[in-house]
Amino acid sequence: MPNTRELFRNRIRQYLRMSGSQRLKDIYRDIQTRYGSLCDDSVECVCGGIPRGQPEWKHLVRLALWDLKQAGIVVRQNEKWTYVA
């Protein structure tokens, strides 16, 4: 079974392939709609012992986007993420 980051990565790839370029807020909304049980806003992101003021699930979405960017599957242009692979 895939971990949450992998699950988000697969969904983002599919979402961007189907919908074209999207802003981060729209990607968050899609992930939260599809995987609401994994998107608990009460679980705060803490990096290096420092609270970041955002839910951990949003951090996982950004990490999934970073993975896809590093793999050359998505690019970020004009504050939108686009599927290119």
Q: What angle do CA 80, 69, 34 make, to 5 degrees?
A: 65
pLDDT score for 1: 56
Query: How does pLDDT run along the chain (85 residues), one tens digit per residue?
Result: 579 999 999 999 999 999 989 999 999 999 999 999 999 999 999 988 888 889 999 999 999 999 999 999 999 999 999 999 8
Helices 56-70 and 24-34: crossing angle in degrees, nearest 10, is 110
pLDDT score for 12: 98
**Domains of the chain, each with CATH number or no CATH:** 4-83 (1.10.10)
Task: Judge contact between 79 and 23, C-beta under 8 A.
Answer: yes
Pairing of strands 80-83, 74-77: antiparallel
Verdict on whether the full-model pTM lies above 0.85:
yes
pLDDT score for 52: 86
Task: Judge contact between 42 and 33, C-beta under 8 A.
Answer: no
